[in-house]
Structure 1
Amino acid sequence: MTLPLKQALTHEARALGFDCAGVTDPDAIAEVARHFRAFIDEGAHGDMDWLAASPERRMDPRVLWPGVRSVIMLGVNYGPDENPLDILQHRTSGAISVYAQGDDYHDVIKKRLKALARWLAAQSGSEVKVFVDTAAVMEKPLAQAAGLGWQGKHTNLVSREFGSWLFLGAIFTAADLPRDAPETDHCGSCRACLDICPTAAFPAPYRLDARRCISYLTIENKGPIPHQFRKAIGNHIYGCDDCLAACPWNKFAQQGREIKLAARDALRAPPLAELARLDDAAFRSLFTKSPVKRIGRDRFIRNVLTAIGNADDAALADEARRLLDDESPLVRGAAVWALSQLMAPDEFAALASDAIGAETNESVRAEWQLSQADVASSS
């Protein structure tokens, strides 16, 4: 295909609301496949079984679609209008990851990708396929190969123009388009993203252990938050931006221009006390069109209670105590831990002695016993 088509593609992408676009070869990430295989073999993906399913489809775009000749990577800037680290100082409010404070980016970007793909198919006469974080596509390595940015030491994409804040989407096409030069790594000796991680989720630069990552623990993890990470989670209640926000390249970042992706006022710094009172209907209403809704009310309240336990505000104990009677064992267990952090040791011990015998769920009873032992050993 000719260069004018490539130029027209870039122009059309920007007209549709994409902030950057690049083209790479389907076999451009062959070396990355080795690192992905090691990530899976180490079990660092945790319970995200879909990552381990058919890994060859992720490691080679041609396995996913044999007809692909060019991979078009596109980015939408969602840069925040305030520093995401500021909320961490307000312990009685919940910290929701920047990407989840607006509408679900999957819905916003997929419509644009489909529109651009239709345009390209009409212009080139070639078949196209669209992907946005829901298929076996290694978007970040492909984005680096297409020149959109580079994978930093925190394994996320960093852009010299947009910092850490790019949503990615991909279009595979049978058209043979001119390639863009890959971006080079500009991290240098910087360790800001590694050093700020509260749970030490990076065993080494460019390596992530998802099992220790706050985003994994608060979103993908379906069970109780492991005890060893609860204090470190602080007031993160959905995802974590710490490693992204710490990157010095954010000094060049720009505020996102897509209104649907902008933070809703109700989700910027929601009070933990109000969130703890959400029933299922209220949860669904508050998080309409938000990616938060996919984890469900019970896992979300588990996260809220973990934050309440870290709030160092005894006034929040009433919210946790009320949830001891919640229908969900996951919520009840989280309420137990929160109370163990907020109540005086003798008061909690008295409450535990009454509750252990009455609790019918084995995991919640174990939570009482473990929390009781922790309180006793620290007093």
Structure 2
Amino acid sequence: MNTQTEKLVAELRSRARALGFDAFGIAATDARPDLPEKLRHAIEQGWHAEMTWMAETEERRGDPRRLWEEARSAILLGVNYGPDTNPLHLLAEKSIGNISAYARNRDYHDIIKGKLKELAGLLARRGGADVKVFVDTAPLMEKPLAEVAGLGWQGKHSVLVSREWGSWLFLGAILTSAELPVDKPHLESCGSCTRCLDVCPTNAFPAPFRLDARRCLAYYSVEHKGPIPREFRRPMGNRIYGCDDCLAVCPWNKFASISREAKLRSRPELERPELADLVAIDDAGFRALFAGSPVKRIGHERFLRNVLIGIGNSESEILVPSVMARMADASALVRGAAVWALRRLDPEQASAVRERHLDGETDPAVRDEWSGMV
């Protein structure tokens, strides 16, 4: 490595810290020749569930050079978003809507992308190289690249784990045509610990280091567009967006509490929202409350679906009127979730209103909710 390149990398690291990045590392784009085969196996097993875009972009996703032929180096960066309190504590407060820690902030795509562009611009100006930035919106496998770049290792829950920040890192990447000196890969350091696997309420890990989205509550509450499958509704509890269980129990999180000024802070109104308030929100209110939040991307209907599942698990008959108010909702997805919630909270009232609602119900999925077992 020549002196000029050393100075450039040192400047990039320093600027990254100033921009608020907590982790920085460099990997060669061809450092993981095993990824195409691993990705192919995962897709063949169906672990991507209905996320068809993973299969559609498989060729480019498995190799950064397929995504951009000129890419020679990948700069991986991380931002700590560790919550101030343990997200698992909210699971016992059944009248509260539990939003995943990452979604209580501004949308991380917006937070990180501007910083990445500034850092990439510095690299382009100083090194004369071409650059491209990525924040989970292109077919780039950031986690295995971050492992090679020394930011941490992919834990048994498949999420990147850092010795400094635990399981709480937003990741972003800069691909560049420049040949940069690489960092030492991080060794897997989970040891014999299986806490993340053991805590999963739906057994979404067929084996350590493997995640089956078809059993993942984070997938169903965020990516899935239809009704929540019945077998996952009770385990969903009050998780109305995402699931932090496997992240929150990681022993390495104890180091993530070492905060910095740049640490992301959650919005207070998204820390402990009442289910009764959330189910009453109309579309305009939903857009206003979740402006700038990842939650906004799932839309009002799917959000209400999740909230009603949470209400059905609340064991609070006080919320029955809130459920009844959604029984005639314009969305079949919402009506179906409301039926399930009512049958859970007040079976007698559900029986009393069943025929009245069935008379005008044309959606087969909603009709099935009335006849299905709770």
TM over 0.5: yes
1:21 to 17, 21, 24: 24
Asked whether the 8 Å contact 1:20–1:76 carries over to 2, the reply is: yes
Matched, 1:180 2:183: yes
Q: TM-score, normalised by structure 2?
A: 0.97
| 2:174 aligned residue | 171
Deviates more, 1:349-358 or 1:268-277: 349-358
Distance 1:259 1:311 in 2: 36
Instruction: Quote the offset at 1:129 in angstroms.
Output: 0.8
Name the SS of the counterpart of 2:133 in structure 1: strand
| 1:356 aligned residue | 358
Asked whether the 8 Å contact 1:104–1:261 carries over to 2, the reply is: no
Task: For 1:93-112, list aligned pairs within 5 A.
Answer: 93-112=96-115
| 1:150 aligned residue | 153
Name the SS of the counterpart of 1:324 in structure 2: coil
| 1:339 aligned residue | 342
Name the SS of the counterpart of 1:278 in structure 2: coil
2:274 to 271, 274, 287: 271
User: Identity over aligned residues, as a percent?
Assistant: 56
| 2:45 aligned residue | 42
Distance 2:168 2:348 in 1: 47
Unmatched 5+ residue regions in structure 2? none
Deviations 1:274-307, CA, capped at 9 Å, x for gaps: 0000100000000010010010011000000000
Asked whether the 8 Å contact 2:105–2:267 carries over to 1, the reply is: yes
Task: For 1:182-221, list aligned pairs within 5 A.
Answer: 182-221=185-224
Q: 1:109 to 1:354 in 2, by over 3 A?
A: same
Distance 2:33 2:292 in 1: 36
Give structure 1 regions of 4+ aligned residues with deviation exceeding 4 angstroms. 255-260
Distance 1:115 1:50 in 2: 29
Distance 2:321 2:258 in 1: 39
Instruction: Quote the offset at 1:8 in angstroms.
Output: 1.5
Task: For 1:17-96, list aligned pairs within 5 A.
Answer: 17-96=20-99
- Number of residue pairs matched by the alignment: 371
Q: TM-score, normalised by structure 1?
A: 0.95
Deviations 1:11-52, CA, capped at 9 Å, x for gaps: 111111111100001111222332211111111111111111
Asked whether the 8 Å contact 1:27–1:60 carries over to 2, the reply is: yes
Deviations 1:316-362, CA, capped at 9 Å, x for gaps: 1111111001111100000000001000x333222223322221222
2:324 to 301, 304, 321: 321
RMSD of aligned Cα (Å): 1.3
Name the SS of the counterpart of 1:71 in structure 2: strand
Name the SS of the counterpart of 2:175 in structure 1: strand
Distance 2:203 2:358 in 1: 34
Unmatched 5+ residue regions in structure 1? none
Instruction: Quote the offset at 1:261 in angstroms.
Output: 3.6
Instruction: Quote the offset at 1:5 in angstroms.
Output: 1.6
Asked whether the 8 Å contact 2:80–2:263 carries over to 1, the reply is: no
| 2:227 aligned residue | 224
Q: 1:255 to 1:292 in 2, by over 3 A?
A: farther
Distance 1:180 1:29 in 2: 14
Task: For 1:229-308, list aligned pairs within 5 A.
Answer: 229-254=232-257, 257=260, 261-308=264-311
